[in-house]
Structure 1
Amino acid sequence: MTDTATGLLGMGALLILLMLRVPVAFAIFLVGFIGISVLNGMSSAFNLMASESFTLASSPELVVIPLFILMGNITAATGMSRQLYDAAYAIIGSVKGGLASATILGCGGFAALSGSSVASALTMGRVALSQMDRFNYNQRLSTGAVAAGGTLGILIPSSTGFVIYAILTEQSIGRLFLAGILPGILLLTLFVLAITAICVIKPEFGPAGPRTTLSEKTRAFVAAAPILGVIALTIGGIYGGYFSPVEASAVGAVMVITLIRRTLTFKILFEALRGSVVTTATVMLILIAAHMINPFLALSHIPSAVGEFIDALGLSPMAILGLILLIYLILGTFLEGFAMLVLTLPIFFPIIVAQGIDPIWCGVLVVLTLEMGLISPPVGLNVFIVKSVAPKVPLSDIFVGVIPFWLMMLVTILILLAFPQIALMLPNAMIN
């Protein structure tokens, strides 16, 4: 059997394991370890397992993951996320569809703290769905807004999606964080416009909430000012070049703990720490597994074979990029986002570099495509998260509810393909 045939067999086995719901990290690690053992010997596989695990675990760049996750967990557990929602509601809650739009804004704010789409959907779902239900919002609109708003967590800095992409491709985390800001704002704006259009066409979908007085608006903003300050300091500090993403994560975590020290009980802190450890361990296992399967793919020559095949097609760089994004879009219907990055970047990234495509711009497009997978059937992880918060809403209604937002994601990708500077302007201006 040739090396390439062994690689294809391994990738087929991996897909079968994932379809059987074997945990992503274990499935990837198992295939990578066995594949290296077959192609390069058992001793090579053991040596690589030891060296890569230690190197990855001791990488200082990965400190951003537990610290940003801790920030998100603490703000969720102490109710600070509700303050973000209340501030957004104070602005636009009194217009038709305002509660759904406030949910999107709240998700965007929480995403800047947690960097997690699942955490954003779960937290804002608990905060917002009961309010929208109280004002008789259509269930498709309310659940769709929460599921789609949660996806902002993988795009708006601090994004764990960008961290994983940066580690796997050896790109700058800071540049990727900056590159995600304007596309994130663009997508958030398009989400709000989609809600407005729906409520103009069908006003009964999003009845207007009660009006808030100027004093109520002021109180809402004063209550949310500390957490808004943390967001401004962490992202603004990176933008201004005052500190790195790692330093920003530490500053943000310390500020959050300081701000809520009077309400932070030992129980809340323990639960936040435990949740952060579990999530971090999951991400680390996936990264270690990725560093096992990457050498296996290299030994099997699959990346070079795919590159030669694409070159033979004679496509332009933009057409090749479009083809890669289309593959991500299809894979996103049944694969988890991090698994897609681990499986495909070793194959696609050399092609991207060879075609002269900017890796930072491509990273934004890839992560945005992963977002679409989070609300695409049949997997649609965020849809199932919202279903767990709203068990009485049929799953089919939630999937129907996310369709307008899915289309807005597609529009955002098309805009970024036409105007790359939307993503590249900030990183090129601030980081040389």
Structure 2
Amino acid sequence: MVFLLIVAVLLVLVFMSIPVASVLGLLTMWLDQAYTDGRMSLTFGGFIWDASTQFILISVPLFILLGEIVLRAGLAEKMYMAVSKWLSWLPGGLMHANIGSSAIFAATSGSSVATAATIGTVAYPEIGKRGYKESLFLGSIAAGGTLGVLIPPSVVLIVYGVLTQTSIPELYLAGILPGLLLVVLFSLVIIVACLINPSYSGQKQSSTWAEKMTVLLDLVRPLILFMGVVGSIYAGIATPTEAASFGVVFALGLAWWEKKLTVPMLLACFENTVKTTAMIMLIIFAAMLLNVVIGYMGVIQSATEFIKTLNLTSLETLMILVVFYLILGMFMETFSMMLTTIGLVFPLMTSLGFDPVWFGIVLTILMEIALITPPIGVNLFVVQGIRKNGGAFNDVCVGAIPFVLMMLLLIVLVTIFPEIILWLPNKFY
């Protein structure tokens, strides 16, 4: 079957460590030559031009630049200390600050790796000072970083929306409640673990109301940035691209206020933005061309008909897909995993009656899981990299397991109660 052959070739090329954009390009050219004698390649220029001139794509480098500025503006440490003042009374102490500050930082940067690296650098010294269980503490940092994929503004949701022609404002709305619920589930697993074994909690901290109110401004600024960016989209004041532009200007203002706005800082932001954007765009365009070719070949229609002959229910198909992504996520980088499979999986799932917005959030949660599943979980390596004592990588992996279980629980919850995802989009659209 052509569908299975394409999937097999994709996986083999990826496991050979060939860059993802090259994998998609090579597969596209091979399929074009094998099935259309190269005729489709004559149309590639037009497809790439149409794709590259979409106004919404401008938001990708803008949101990346926004995250770079926030990262270098020195807001993370102040924000972390502010969250710790408000949440450290809970069983688990600063581990809740890891989750809470990650959620806030994710809402301004949109990057999981940046979130894990930034919060981890600030939080790590507290392990020794407060006597925390290192594996669980590190696991909370790695898991908190994944929130950057789900909580808007998320670059992953933008790319999903572009590739599947799904409304990005609806996707952003859909990600809010599952994102907040995941924060609660993460905190819940920390509380349960610390109640079972109080030694995990570390030394208890207490803060007066005066101290809490003093640091409130450090929480308000990133929340204003989040509300300005995301709120302007939902209010109909700005498109995602215009909202991203506002976010960049506001972030520059925050950097200036913190006296971090310098020419070297801006050059570093611009350089990283260009590198990341070039990588993402190359993969996006290669994925689009592959989707065009397999669509022309009728692969998706054949795969859909084959699935129907198996007499599987929609739920059984979803379960198989979840297992497929769990296994794939152990060996592939998150963004690459989504882009190499979305052209095959999305039409199949929507043909079975799954809502495109709902499926986009479920797919994003699966991307989150891949970030903290060994041996290729990117956030695990990021957190391991900030450890000064060079401890065993296994510590981080073990500490992340309870949070992976919470993400799987979230998938179960949104499957049983799809309104967790769809309520806000349906309310506004």
TM-score normalised over the length of structure 2 = 0.94
Q: Distance in 2 between matches of 1:425 and 1:18?
A: 37
Counterpart selection for 1:323 from 311, 315, 320: 320
Match of 1:388 in 2: 385
Alignment of 1:91-170 (within 5 A): 91-170=86-165
Deviations for 1:153-174, whole angstroms, at most 9, x for unmatched residues?
Answer: 1100111221121111110011
Q: Which residue identity does 2:12 align to in structure 1?
A: I
Match of 2:36 in 1: 40
Match of 2:169 in 1: 174
Match of 2:329 in 1: 332
Q: Which residue identity does 2:192 align to in structure 1?
A: A
Counterpart selection for 1:30 from 23, 26, 31: 26
Q: Distance in 1 between matches of 2:34 and 2:279?
A: 27
Counterpart selection for 1:296 from 261, 280, 293: 293
* 8 Å Cα contact 2:287/2:343 also seen in 1: no
Q: Distance in 1 between matches of 2:19 and 2:209?
A: 51
1:351 to 2:337 alignment:
no
* 8 Å Cα contact 2:233/2:239 also seen in 1: yes
Aligned residue for 1:102, secondary structure, equals: helix
Counterpart selection for 1:409 from 401, 407, 410: 407
* 8 Å Cα contact 1:28/1:290 also seen in 2: yes
Q: Distance in 2 between matches of 1:277 and 1:95?
A: 41
Deviations for 1:91-121, whole angstroms, at most 9, x for unmatched residues?
Answer: 0124431211101011111111111111111
- State which drifts further: 75-84 or 142-151: 75-84
Deviations for 1:338-360, whole angstroms, at most 9, x for unmatched residues?
Answer: 22222322222222222222111
Match of 2:191 in 1: 196
Q: Which residue identity does 1:405 align to in structure 2?
A: F
* 8 Å Cα contact 2:66/2:247 also seen in 1: yes
* 8 Å Cα contact 1:100/1:132 also seen in 2: no
Aligned residue for 1:261, secondary structure, equals: helix
1:269 to 2:275 alignment:
no
Deviations for 1:288-316, whole angstroms, at most 9, x for unmatched residues?
Answer: 11012213323444322321121012222
Counterpart selection for 1:220 from 215, 223, 246: 215
Counterpart selection for 2:49 from 47, 54, 70: 54
Structure 2: state its 5+ residue gaps: none
Q: Which residue identity does 2:406 align to in structure 1?
A: M
Aligned residue for 1:314, secondary structure, equals: coil
Q: Which residue identity does 1:170 align to in structure 2?
A: Q
Q: Distance in 2 between matches of 1:241 and 1:202?
A: 49
Report the RMSD for the aligned CA atoms in angstroms: 1.9
Cα 1:95–1:8, aligned 2, differ >3 Å: closer, same or farther?
closer
Deviations for 1:67-101, whole angstroms, at most 9, x for unmatched residues?
Answer: 11111111111211222212210101244312111
Q: Distance in 1 between matches of 2:56 and 2:387?
A: 37
Q: Which residue identity does 2:13 align to in structure 1?
A: L
Q: Which residue identity does 1:72 align to in structure 2?
A: G
Q: Which residue identity does 1:276 align to in structure 2?
A: T
Aligned residue for 2:375, secondary structure, equals: coil
Counterpart selection for 2:307 from 291, 298, 310: 310
Match of 1:76 in 2: 71
Identity between Structure 1 and Structure 2 (%):
36
Task: Report how far residue 424 of structure 1 moved.
Answer: 0.6
Q: Which residue identity does 1:427 align to in structure 2?
A: P
Q: Distance in 1 between matches of 2:282 and 2:190?
A: 38
Q: Distance in 2 between matches of 1:342 and 1:76?
A: 26
Q: Which residue identity does 1:293 align to in structure 2?
A: L
Task: Report how far residue 9 of structure 1 moved.
Answer: 4.9
Aligned residue for 2:146, secondary structure, equals: helix
Task: Report how far residue 277 of structure 1 moved.
Answer: 1.4
Q: Which residue identity does 1:127 align to in structure 2?
A: V
Q: Which residue identity does 2:289 align to in structure 1?
A: M
Counterpart selection for 1:423 from 412, 421, 424: 421
* 8 Å Cα contact 1:137/1:205 also seen in 2: yes
Aligned residue for 2:17, secondary structure, equals: coil
Deviations for 1:227-267, whole angstroms, at most 9, x for unmatched residues?
Answer: 22111222222333332222221111111112222421111
* 8 Å Cα contact 2:140/2:400 also seen in 1: yes
* 8 Å Cα contact 2:194/2:200 also seen in 1: yes
Q: Distance in 2 between matches of 1:342 and 1:418?
A: 27
Q: Distance in 2 between matches of 1:236 and 1:389?
A: 34
Q: Distance in 1 between matches of 2:230 and 2:407?
A: 23
- State which drifts further: 297-306 or 399-408: 297-306
Q: Which residue identity does 1:19 align to in structure 2?
A: F
Q: Which residue identity does 1:184 align to in structure 2?
A: G
Task: Report how far residue 8 of structure 1 moved.
Answer: 5.2
Aligned residue for 1:269, secondary structure, equals: helix
* 8 Å Cα contact 1:117/1:151 also seen in 2: yes
1:378 to 2:375 alignment:
yes
Counterpart selection for 2:279 from 278, 282, 301: 282
Q: Distance in 2 between matches of 1:394 and 1:197?
A: 25
Match of 1:243 in 2: 238
Q: Which residue identity does 1:152 align to in structure 2?
A: L
* 8 Å Cα contact 1:39/1:299 also seen in 2: no
Structure 1: state its 5+ residue gaps: none
* 8 Å Cα contact 1:96/1:207 also seen in 2: no
Deviations for 1:375-410, whole angstroms, at most 9, x for unmatched residues?
Answer: 112211111111122261311111100011001101
* 8 Å Cα contact 2:90/2:191 also seen in 1: no
Task: Report how far residue 195 of structure 1 moved.
Answer: 0.8
* 8 Å Cα contact 2:105/2:222 also seen in 1: no
Cα 1:231–1:133, aligned 2, differ >3 Å: closer, same or farther?
farther
Q: Distance in 2 between matches of 1:134 and 1:46?
A: 63
* 8 Å Cα contact 1:93/1:208 also seen in 2: no
